[in-house]
Structure 1
Amino acid sequence: MNRLVHPIEQESFRRLRARLDTSHFPPLTRAVVERVIHSAADLDYATDLVMDESKLEKAHTALHAGAPVVVDVEMVAAGITRRETVCRLKDARSGPGMTRSAHAIRLAYEDVGPGALWVIGCAPTALEELLKLDASPALVIGLPVGFVGAAESKAALRQSGLPAVSNVSEKGGSAVAAAALNALLYHPVSKFEETS
C-alpha cells in the first residue's frame, strides 16, 4: 500500500533538497538523512550521521519481512508510523548499577530475542545495555541525546561493528530516531527483496 504524502510534507522536502544536495547518497542512506533532517530542521545531520548502505539494505529487508521493532521510550514509539513496536519502559525498574531505561532494554530482549531492529532515541544507558546483550540486531538506530554519555554510547555502538545508524555529536532524540526508522519503513521494497 502506498503512503499518502501530505502537500506540506512534499513542500518541506522540496525546500530541504533546494538547500542541500543529497543526490550523492545511496538510496537508503539518502532516505534516512533526508527524513532525519526533515524531523529536526537541522541540515548538519547530513555530515553528522554515520551509516552503511549495505547494512541498511539488510535491515530494510528484515523490517519489511516483519522483524520486531524495539524502542527505548514511548516518545519514539509515538513517532513510528505504520508499525507496532515493543517498549518495556513501563515495566522496568531501576536498581544498583542499572537505570530503568537499561532494564527496559533487557526486558525487551527477553521478549523479542535476536534479529530485531532497535530504535534508541532517548537514553544513552539503554544503548549501553543493548551493547552488553547478544542481541544480533538487524539494525540499531542509536541516536540518544544529551551531554552525559550520548556521544560516548554512540561511539561505542560504531566500534561494536553492529549494523547501525548513529551520529557523532551529542544531539539526537526521539523524533530523529523515529524518523530514521520511518525512512526505512517508507522506502519501497524492491522486486529483488520481494522474491528473495
Structure 2
Amino acid sequence: MNRVVHPIEEESYRRLRARLDTSHFPPLTRAVVERVIHSAADLDYATDLVMDEADLAKAHAALHAGAPVVVDVAMVGAGITRRETVCRLGDAEAGPGLTRSAHAIRLAHKQVGPGALWVIGNAPTALEELLTLDADPALVIGLPVGFVGAVESKAALRESGLPAVSNVSEKGGSAVAAAALNALLYHPTSAEEKL
C-alpha cells in the first residue's frame, strides 16, 4: 500500500536535500538518514549514523513479511505508524541491578522470540540488556539518548556484530528511533515498486 505524502513533508524533504546531498547513500541507508534528519532537523545525523545496507535490506524484508517490532518505551511505539508494536515497560519492575527498561526487554524477548526488529530510543539499559539475550534480531535500532550510558551502549551494539542502526554521539531519542523504523516501513517493497 503506497503512502500518501503530505505537501508539507514533501517541501521539508526538498529543503533537506537542498542543504545536504544524500544521493551517494544506497537506497535504504538514504531513506533512514533522511527520515532521521527530518525527524530531528539535525543534519549532523548524516555523519553520526552507522548502518549497513545489506543489514537494512534483510530487515526491510523481515519487517514487510510481518516480523514483530519491539520498542523500549511507548513513546517510540507512538511514533511508529502503520504497525503494531510490543512494549512491555508497563509490566516491568525494577530490582537489584535491573532497571524497569531492562526487565521490559526480558519480558518482550520471552514474548516475541527470535527474528524481531528492536527499536530502542530511550534507555541505554534496555539496549545493554538486549545484548545479553539470544534475541537473534532481524535488526536492532539502537538510538538511546543521554549522557550516561548512551554512547557506551551504542558502541557495544556495533561491537556485537548484530545487524543494527546506531549512532556515535549522545544524540538519539524516541523520535529518531521511530523515524529509522518508519523509513523501512515506508520504503516500498519490490512488489510495490512494480505497481
* TM-score normalised by the chain length of structure 1: 0.97
Report the CA distance between 1:191 and its aligned residue.
Answer: 3.9
2:178 pairs with 1:178: yes
CA contact (8 A) 1:70 1:86 kept: yes
CA displacement 1:115-134 (0-9 Å, x = unmatched)? 00000000000000000000
SS in 1 for 2:93: coil
Match of 2:160 in 1: 160
1:193 and 1:76 map into 2 onto residues whose CA distance is: 28
Within a 5 Å distance, the mapping from 1:97-176 to structure 2 comes to 97-176=97-176
Q: Give the share of equivalent positions with the same residue, in percent.
A: 87
CA displacement 1:118-165 (0-9 Å, x = unmatched)? 000000000000000000000000000000000000000000000000
Aligned-pair Cα RMSD in Å: 1.3
SS in 2 for 1:132: coil
Match of 1:47 in 2: 47
2:7 and 2:192 map into 1 onto residues whose CA distance is: 31
Give the AA of the match of 1:63: L
Match of 1:59 in 2: 59
Distance change (3 Å), C-alpha of 1:192 and 1:17: closer
* TM-score normalised by the chain length of structure 2: 0.98
Q: Which structure 1 segments of 5+ residues have no match?
A: none
Matched residues, number:
194
CA contact (8 A) 1:61 1:193 kept: no
Give the AA of the match of 1:89: L
Q: Which structure 2 segments of 5+ residues have no match?
A: none
1:123 and 1:64 map into 2 onto residues whose CA distance is: 26
SS in 2 for 1:11: helix
1:71 and 1:192 map into 2 onto residues whose CA distance is: 27
2:193 and 2:71 map into 1 onto residues whose CA distance is: 25
